[in-house]
Every structure is written in C-alpha cells, then in structure tokens.
Amino acid sequence: MTREDDMKEACSHEAEHADNPLEKLRCLVLSRGYDSILQFGKMFRRLDEDKNHALSKDEFADVLIQFGLELSDEEVSEIHSGFDEDGTGCINYNEFLDKLRPEMNEPRIEIVEEAFAKLDESGDGVVTLDDVRDKYDASHHPKVLAEESTEDEVLLKFIGRFEEGVSQDGKVTKEEFLDYYSGISKSIDDDEYFITVIRNSWKL
C-alpha cells in the first residue's frame, strides 16, 4: 500500500468520527488523494463566473455534489453559515479553502513557498507550466522513491493536475501550489523528510 493509499484510508476512517462538519469535509476531500484539495479548489473557482470570490449556499452545495461528497443539509448549512460572517448569504471561498486545507507547520510552509518563489521569477504570483517542466525533478517524488511510478509518469501526472479545469490558461497560482502540497504534507509525518522531498524536487 502506498503513502497516498494510507492517507486515503486514514481520512475515510477519520471522516466517520469527525467532531464537526468542516473536519468531516476535509477528511472526505483528502480521502480522494494527494491532489484532492487542489481539485476541490479548482471547482470553486470554476463556478465563480463573475470572479467575486464568493459562493451562495446553493452554489456551495453544488460544488459538494459535483465532487461527489455526501454531507447532510444540516452539515452544509453549518459549514456555510460558519463562514458567512457578514450575513450576506455568500462565503469567500478563498478564506474557506484556507481553513479546509490541511494545516502545515511553519517549516513546511516556508519550504513550499521557497519552491514557488524560485519558479515565480517575475514575482507576479503565478508560474507557467513550462517553468514547472523545466525545474521539477521528479526523481525525488515519494512515489518514485518507493518505485511505485516512473519519473515521466509522475511529471506528467503532476503537470496534468494543474492543467485540469480552470488552469487551462497554463498558469499555476501560489494557492494552487499550496493546495497540492498540503495533500502531500498530510501523508508525510516527518518534517525533515517532507522538507527534503521539496528541496530535492525543486533543487533548492
């Protein structure tokens, strides 16, 4: 069983015993794999046609349905109302996704942000997929180290995750980058190992 499989299984179990709806939702999303937070965030952004970074309760429920997540009406209402602090009937999905993303401690966040900064040479907050292709060393990915995938397979899958949905503009945002690595982080308990994986992958 792979690290990713272990995480999926653990999160599925944790979802059944979660203390609150938000934690249950986080576990359900993570039970889909490394890139689940990334893809969940993409779905929010895809539905935000007017780009106001807000979703109504019905839009929020639609995201859950499209992602195949089963929450009760009461749980959906509790999550949405908890983020609708100004009573407008809408939530800022960026703030919501920040809370949903598995927590990374400061050393992990710093190394992921360092990797993104290396890619984002212009400092405009986005990197192109060509930047990723040129600078990503897949030989240090956990799946390659465990001989579960080849370097080419990991690279193609890695890039593909950012190309799906709304990322067809060929750009990767810092939020998307953090979303992706939050899934990897969740599956790795050891800080030093996680930092080494990022440092070697991006040649930091």
pLDDT in tens, the chain (204 residues): 678 888 889 899 998 998 889 899 899 888 988 888 888 888 887 777 777 888 888 888 888 888 888 888 999 889 898 888 778 888 888 888 888 888 899 999 999 999 999 988 888 888 887 777 777 777 877 778 888 888 777 777 777 666 654 445 567 888 888 888 988 898 888 999 999 989 988 888
Distance from CA of residue 132 to its chain's centroid?
A: 17
DSSP E strands, 45-101? 54-56, 90-92
Distance from CA of residue 43 to its chain's centroid?
A: 11
CATH number for the region 106-201 comes to 1.10.238.10
Total residues belonging to the chain = 204
Select from 1.10.238.10, 1.10.8.100, 1.10.3720.10, 1.10.287.610 the CATH code of 3-100. 1.10.238.10
Sign of the dihedral defined by the CA atoms of residues 186, 189, 190, 196, in that order: negative
Q: What are the residues whose beta carbons fall under 8 Å from the beta carbon of 59, sequence distance 6 or more?
A: 47
Here the tokens at position 145 are: 């180290």
| Spatial CA neighbour of 194 closest among 177, 203, 181 | 181
Q: How far apart are CA 179 and CA 177, in angstroms?
A: 5
Query: Domain-by-domain residue ranges, the chain?
Result: 3-100, 106-201
Residue 126 pairs in a beta bridge with 173
Q: How far apart are CA 161 and CA 150, in angstroms?
A: 17
Shared fold status for 3-100 and 106-201:
yes
pTM of the model: 0.74
Sign of the dihedral defined by the CA atoms of residues 165, 166, 168, 173, in that order: negative
